Homo-oligomer: A and B are copies of this chain.
């Protein structure tokens, strides 16, 4: 596991390298506010409707969960020198994220593809898993990120 405050360039990365983020507490009030703005469905907003739903209790919008994962990655979870610039990826939510959950992300570099046309950059594929405090995976992200080489 790489734990460092050093910022990493493409030259510093290798397949199999692993990173861990800090933690984030998912608050019920923020779950409801986020959902009211971006995912206004009863099971993200109102406890009794949530209990009766397929989610069997209040749960964060999957896009709220995804946004929290990004916060954890940007604030130390994936210390790339040029920041985290994503081109796309795959997402999955194997378990709901609940109020009070304490979340963190563990990531691994699974592929590094230097650009043929732009020699100062490459595409790095990162597989991240966000866990709750019971070590249940609540969010899976495989993302393709644009990463720059160290300036000469």
Interface positions of A (Cβ within 8 A of B): 34, 37-43, 53-55, 61-64, 66-68, 70-71, 74-75, 82-93, 140, 146
Contact = CB atoms under 8 A, between A and B. Distances in A.
A70 B40 CA distance: 9
Contacts of A90: 88-91
A38 B71 CA distance: 5
Contact of A70 (B38, B68, B84): B38
A71 B146 contact: no
A74 B41 contact: yes
Contacts of A75: 40
Contacts of A67: 34, 37-39, 61, 63-64, 67
Given A85-B54, A90-B90, A66 B68 contact: no
A40 B87 contact: no
Given A38-B71, A89-B91, 9 more contacts: A34-B67, A37-B71, A40-B71, A61-B70, A63-B66, A63-B67, A86-B93, A88-B92, A89-B90
Nearest to A67: B38
Nearest to A40: B74
Contacts of A140: 88
A87 B92 contact: yes
A89 B66 CA distance: 12
A61 B84 CA distance: 10
A52 to B, nearest CB: 12
A85 B83 CA distance: 31
